[in-house]
Chains A and B, each alone.
Chain A
């Protein structure tokens, strides 16, 4: 008995010793990448059917692509981070690298390398992905939220050039509504098309939610009051009442249903129009957000990749990203995306992808004035809470429903003070 036990112990120890180092150093057979599915199908297809196969052929590592429905990625990421299991590489957006900081691998080395080759990076991206001086995600492009409008109806109303200021847009909207072509800007609980114009509207009037210290709530100001008053007039004089209940699909449906003449959206609206509604596509154009008394702003939605700390082989995951962000691959991939993603890499400012459709150019131009939700406050958990509670959206929406400017600002201020734990 003793001999047999000794024999088993020795054999198992030897087998373990022989196998363990191989497990530790062997390349993984597969790496899973999870991202929110793109509105631009060829972009996803190019990744899954071309790039993933190329990488597998090159290295023998299979790239498994998991697409999450639009709006569902944050929930998926929360589950992955909480269970410390699942895909090794994840898609991030907004200020998520800050939220999941402890679950994400430092990719500063890769970011520096990529920046040297096809950069430098645009300065404003640092706010979104650099956490405590460490890059926690690698952005591949911004999903811009700009003005989308019907050129034929604008001309019919006598507006030959898209208005440059909010006041001029209001004047144009009045004319268009009279002609039966109202505007449709989302004021409901969606996830992108509401913040896409309401934060820029606030900022362009000089209003801010919170100061850069993340403690001083600034929403209760004359500048905010001016933005709220403008929004109320803009809503009443140019829009449909329904926009108060819209989520992100509604403005697209209304635009394609020829019910609205102008909205704030990503360029996907034109991409889809070209595919399914060519007549509408031929009379659709984009423009930067109008400017207000204190400038012109756009929202930042930096689509990025991050490596999860639970990934068994960080080096392998990083190696894949190094390969993907190489100009040979990234250039082709972004071209497949029909300029939907405006890269934060300056070498791509004159990329051929911008030449195929000049109407997408404002999305590139908007990069200079993009800011994260809650700017100039830090991209903290509090910022996410404010966004998730729709503090700003509801402040404007309640004003449009008829509440006084003073009341809606006071409610928002009270909420923000609680969220930012301000005194």
Chain B
């Protein structure tokens, strides 16, 4: 599979990036170089191999327990009661590039 300029534009769009013309040219080159190396994975027959998304469901858990029982320890005490301390508004907004004291402010979403 060869990545084209068009693919790069499409993926940049999905990733909420714009990229300059130079960056796009470089990206075509770099992605092809990396994916060329990645293609070696196709040598492996994996149709009977389960995908592994994470480690935490395999190790350090009580294997005699199944499903959600196995992760019961992960329930947070503060969430069980439906109560959870959250940041006060001013703290939550303190890092915002633009805010009005109650809300985050962003440019207009709907054009008239």
Q: Is this pair of chains taken from one and the same complex?
A: no
Interface residues, chain B, CB within 8 Å of chain A? none
